[in-house]
């Protein structure tokens, strides 16, 4: 007999009870082995899926975040400008061929700088252009601009709008309500009438309406000057205005 017996001979030499337990043991071993193989395959499959998901996540983190949409600045549209009426203050020939509409803020240093340039335009194009002044107080950064605009309107009530206009710009760093009242007296205005007008906010709504009209047409800052249908932003050199005016007068 050889050292090893065949499986059949091995079971043949065992007693029936021993054969039963031996067979059951082999069956359990085979079943456990199969379960282990299934479990390992399942684990590897899950791990592969997880790795794929992780790879996707990692890939996505490299994508730049979407930037929030930026507000579109308003487009200038002269057709939305309120019509020129008798309530507007105008310099130059009222029947001139070309109209300039300036939106200004009495506390704005660039508006002060822009005024001599517009004066030169009126002088050089006498009879050909007219200048309409409108208020656009930037109250968030110029807290005294609103009352200064009202003061000019109160002075205009007594026929001295442009005199107050020049006085305020000449003293731009000192335009408190008390100073405005002092300027009115210096201009020879009826102090009681002027003070009552200013203290009671008589022209506050007019100033705000002009500002809203400018905003509707695309004005966002000062000075803003419409030359016909073209908006010029800021205090630009005289030559810039001249080239535009010449093109409009052709």
Residue 89 has φ and ψ, to the nearest 5°, of -100, 125
Per-residue pLDDT tens digits for 59-102: 444 444 445 555 666 689 999 999 999 999 999 999 999 999 99
pLDDT of residue 2: 46
pTM (2 d.p.)? 0.72
Do 144 and 176 form a contact (C-beta atoms < 8 A)?
Answer: yes
Per-residue pLDDT of the chain (250 residues; tens, 9 = 90+): 444 444 445 444 545 544 444 455 545 555 556 555 555 545 545 444 444 443 444 444 444 444 555 566 668 999 999 999 999 999 999 999 999 999 999 999 999 999 999 999 999 999 999 999 999 999 999 999 999 999 999 999 999 999 999 999 999 999 999 999 999 999 999 999 999 999 999 999 999 999 999 999 999 999 999 999 999 999 999 999 999 999 999 8
Per-residue pLDDT tens digits for 23-42: 555 455 555 565 555 555 45
Q: Dihedral of CA 129/133/136/138: which sign? A: positive
Residue 169 has a CB neighbour count (10 Å cut-off) of 21
Question: What is the assigned CATH class of domain 78-249?
Answer: alpha beta
Q: Which of 250, 224, 227 is nearest to 105 (CA)?
A: 224
């Amino acid at each position: 007999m050889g050292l090893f017996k065949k499986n059949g001979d091995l079971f043949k030499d065992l007693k029936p009870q021993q054969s039963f337990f031996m067979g059951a043991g082999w069956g359990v071993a085979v079943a456990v082995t199969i379960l282990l193989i299934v479990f390992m395959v399942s684990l590897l499959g899950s791990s592969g899926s997880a790795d794929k998901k992780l790879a996707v996540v990692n890939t996505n983190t490299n994508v730049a975040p979407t930037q929030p949409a930026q507000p579109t600045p308003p487009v200038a549209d002269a057709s939305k400008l309120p019509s020129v009426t008798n309530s507007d203050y105008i310099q130059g020939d009222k029947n001139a061929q070309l109209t300039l509409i300036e939106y200004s803020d009495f506390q704005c240093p660039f508006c002060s700088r822009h005024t001599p340039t517009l004066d030169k335009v009126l002088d050089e194009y006498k009879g050909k252009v007219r200048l309409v002044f409108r208020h656009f107080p930037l109250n968030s950064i110029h807290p005294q601009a609103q009352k200064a605009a009202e003061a000019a309107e109160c002075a205009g009530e007594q026929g001295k709008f442009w005199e107050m206009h020049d006085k305020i710009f000449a003293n731009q760093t000192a335009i408190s309500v008390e100073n405005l009242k002092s300027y009115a007296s210096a201009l020879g205005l009826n102090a009681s009438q002027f003070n009552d007008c200013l203290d009671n906010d008589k022209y506050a709504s007019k100033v705000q309406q002009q500002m809203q009209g400018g905003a509707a047409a695309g004005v966002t800052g000062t000075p803003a000057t419409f030359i016909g249908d073209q908006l010029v932003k800021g205090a630009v050199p005289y030559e810039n205005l001249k080239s535009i005016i010449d093109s409009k007068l052709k």
